Amino acid sequence: LQQLTRQVTAGLDFAAAEAQLADCFERRAAKEKAHDKIVGSYDGMLGCIDALQEWILQNREELPPQPLFDFAVQVLRHRGSVGALNYALSVLVLLAQAEGDWRGLLHTLALCDEFTLYCVFVARQWENANQEIWQMAQRARGWGRVHAVAELEPETPAMQEWLLDEGWRNGVLAAYSALQCTLKGDLTARLQRPDLTLEQLDAAAGLLAGLLDEGPLLGISDERLSDPAGLLGSFLVQARRLNYAIERELLQDIIGAAAEHAWPELQTQAE
C-alpha cells in the first residue's frame, strides 16, 4: 500500500491503481483463507490503516496531496473493490477538510456495513462531526450502527433520546451498544422521570436486556456505571407504576445479576 501510494502521487492512472489495490486485497484474503483464518471483508484494511496513515504523514513532503485526493474521490465516484474503497476512505481521513460534493458520497457508502466505520473516521474530521455521524448511525442497521454509536458524542437532547430509543437496536446484538447508549443517553435520568411513558419504558427494557447480556463484553458490571443496582431498581419502580408486564427472561436476568453482585434489596424487589 505504501508503494502504491507513492505511485498514485507520481501520476499512476486510476485504472491501473485500482486494479493493483483489488489484487492486493485478493491476495491477502487468499493467504488468510489458506491458513483457515476467517477474513472479514474490511479486516485487511482495518489492520493496517493506522500504520499507513502514520507513514503518509511522515512522508508528506514527498507525497503531493492533490493526486492522492483525486484518486481517492475517483474510487468513491466510479468503482472499486471493497479493499480499494476502504483504502480510499482511509486516505480521505487525512484529507477530510477538503470541501466538495464528494462528502455526500459518504452517506451512501455508510449504509453498507463494510464501509460505515471508515465513513465515520472521515466524518470525525468535519466541523459538524456529530451531526454527520448521527445521520450515519440512524440509517445504518448492522455493524455500521454499532460502530457509529460508539463514535457518537451526543450534543443535543434529541441525540440522547435517540440513543435510548433506537441506538441499541441493531442487526447484530443489542449488547454491543447497550452500555454506550446507557451512558451517553443517560438512562439513569430517564428512569427517574415522573412522566416516563410506556413506550420509553419498553425501550428501556430492551436496552437493559442488552446491558445484562454480558456474553460479548461487560455491561451491567462495567465500573463506568455509578449505581447499576439503582438503575435496575428504578426500572422496576416505573414498571410497577405503569403496570408494565416485564418479560420473565428479563426479570430472571435482573435477579441473577442481583444475586451475583450481592444486591439483596434489588433481588427482593425483582422477585
Separation of alpha carbons 142 and 140, rounded Å? 6
pLDDT tier at 35, thresholds 50, 70, 90: low
Separation of alpha carbons 180 and 135, rounded Å? 17
pLDDT score for 46: 83
Largest alpha-carbon pair distance within the chain? Answer: 71
pLDDT in tens, 229-250: 999 999 999 999 999 999 999 9
Q: Which of 142, 208, 145 is nearest to 175 (CA)?
A: 208
Strands (E), the chain: none
Residue 186 CB partners (closer than 8 Å, separation 6+): 160, 164
In this predicted structure, the answer to whether residue 97 has a pLDDT above a threshold of 50 is yes
Q: Which of 117, 5, 121 is nearest to 55 (CA)?
A: 5
Displacement of CA 190 from its chain's centroid (Å):
23
pLDDT tier at 19, thresholds 50, 70, 90: confident
Give the lowest-confidence range in 96-100, 243-247, 261-265.
96-100
- In eight-state DSSP terms, residue 11 is T
Separation of alpha carbons 149 and 146, rounded Å? 5
**Would you say the C-alpha torsion 103, 104, 108, 113 has a positive or negative sign?**
positive
* Measured CA distances, 132 to 4, 29, 148, 159 (Å): 30, 32, 10, 12
Give Rg (Cα) of the chain. Answer: 23
- In eight-state DSSP terms, residue 197 is -
pLDDT in tens, 202-217: 999 999 999 999 988 9
In this predicted structure, the answer to whether residue 42 has a pLDDT above a threshold of 50 is no
Residue type, 230: G
pLDDT score for 32: 63
- Residue recorded with cell 464501509: 115
- Number of Cα atoms under 13 Å in the Cβ half of residue 264: 0
Q: Which of 109, 117, 111 is nearest to 93 (CA)?
A: 117
Residue type, 173: L
Using CB atoms within 10 Å of the CB of residue 170, give its burial: 0 to 12 exposed, 13 to 18 middle, 19+ buried: buried
Is the separation of the CB atoms in 197 and 204 below 8 Å?
no
